[in-house]
Structure 1
Amino acid sequence: MSTHVQKPGWFTVNVLNRLVAWLTGRGLSVWGSRVLAVRGRRSGQWRTTPVNLLIVDGERYLVAPRGHVQWTHNMRAAGGGELRLGRSVEAFTATEVADDDKPPLLRAYLGRWKAEVGVFFKGVGPASSDDELRRIAPDHPVFRITVRS
């Protein structure tokens, strides 16, 4: 497994993420944003971060543009979490997508959010070949999420 991680800078952590989380917490989705809540793999405490919810062919996905970050490790351990938008909370289970199955999902993700996250994808974009997308796939975890009923 890849260990690729691109840590956010001070401005992202202290301004952008907080602003998006604040707006999303009040029910205003910014380009599909949600607040992801996942139990910490060691502490058991809820950990939150803003994410972009990707929908492809009616299926829902979370993509980690910055790589194997804390929420991805926690998601693997917990097997799911919650997506929050305002007062709406959806509990879900998560299944990690295999690298060979990621190219169309990464293409769709980059097609929607390249301006925001493209810098984390090593020059690969929505018009890139499947081979180029497959090359970077190990660096970007993708989870299919299924809402619990």
Structure 2
Amino acid sequence: MTATHVIRPDWLTRRVLNPAVSWLARHGVTIAGARVLAVRGRKSGEWRRTPVNPLPYGGERYLVAPRGHVQWTHNMRAAGGGELHKRSHVEHFRATELADADKPEILRAYLKKWSWEVGAFFKGLDAKSSDAELLAAAHKYPVFRITTSAPPSTASDNVQDSKGGGDA
């Protein structure tokens, strides 16, 4: 059985960078369109949050997990959606995970836009990589298509910061 690809954030990312990017986004200042993703924990049911970079592409929007199959991706699969926060604006969304065969063009667009920030997580890949190279690595990087939805009946009180697996 193949091990799941995960690049765990280091102490600096967990304790300084992710909280700083989250704080900025919560106060209306975003770095390259970053948002705070809030998603319910699959085991606890508690809201968890982490900074992410939503990718607009081809009239759709996507969330790419450059660190691989981290906690927010597992929670997203279980919850089927979540919230994107920027200052006081909260956008509720549904998420559909893409099949590996559908990921190469999204991964290429993501790398083109954010390689300066996340390129280190895509060892040997960049926006100029071939479809075959991106497809060979697609299983390592979850990608979700997100679509705006009506808010659920429960409020997103008590959102807790993620202790790891973010995308700062």
Bin of the TM-score, shorter chain as denominator length: over 0.9
Map of 2:115 onto structure 1: 114
Larger relative contact order (CA 8 Å, sep ≥ 6) = 2
Q: Distance in 2 between matches of 1:95 and 1:46?
A: 19
Q: Percent identity?
A: 62
Size of the aligned set, in residue pairs, is 149
**Residues 40-69 of structure 1: CA distance to partner in whole angstroms, max 9, x if unpaired?**
000000000000010001201000000000
Map of 1:54 onto structure 2: 55
Residue 140 in structure 1 maps to residue 133 in structure 2: no
Paired residues of 1:2 and 1:138 also in contact (CA < 8 A):
no
1:145, CA displacement in angstroms?
0.3
Map of 2:33 onto structure 1: 32
**Residues 64-113 of structure 1: CA distance to partner in whole angstroms, max 9, x if unpaired?**
00000000000000000000000000010000011001011000000011
Q: Distance in 1 between matches of 2:37 and 2:117?
A: 18
**Residues 7-53 of structure 1: CA distance to partner in whole angstroms, max 9, x if unpaired?**
00011111111110010000112101000000000000000000001
Identify the structure with the greater helix proportion. Answer: 1
Letter in 2 for 1:88: H
Q: Which runs of 5+ in 1 are unaligned?
A: none
Letter in 2 for 1:71: W
Moved over 3 A (4+): none
Q: Distance in 2 between matches of 1:136 and 1:87?
A: 37
Q: Distance in 2 between matches of 1:2 and 1:69?
A: 13
Map of 2:95 onto structure 1: 94
Task: Please tell me the root mean square deviation across aligned C-alpha atoms, in Å.
Answer: 1.0
Q: Distance in 1 between matches of 2:21 and 2:73?
A: 19
Q: Which runs of 5+ in 2 are unaligned?
A: 151-168
Map of 2:106 onto structure 1: 105
Letter in 1 for 2:81: G
Q: Distance in 2 between matches of 1:25 and 1:91?
A: 15
Residue 18 in structure 1 maps to residue 12 in structure 2: no
Paired residues of 1:38 and 1:80 also in contact (CA < 8 A):
yes
Map of 2:85 onto structure 1: 84
Map of 2:166 onto structure 1: none
1:2, CA displacement in angstroms?
5.9
Map of 1:69 onto structure 2: 70
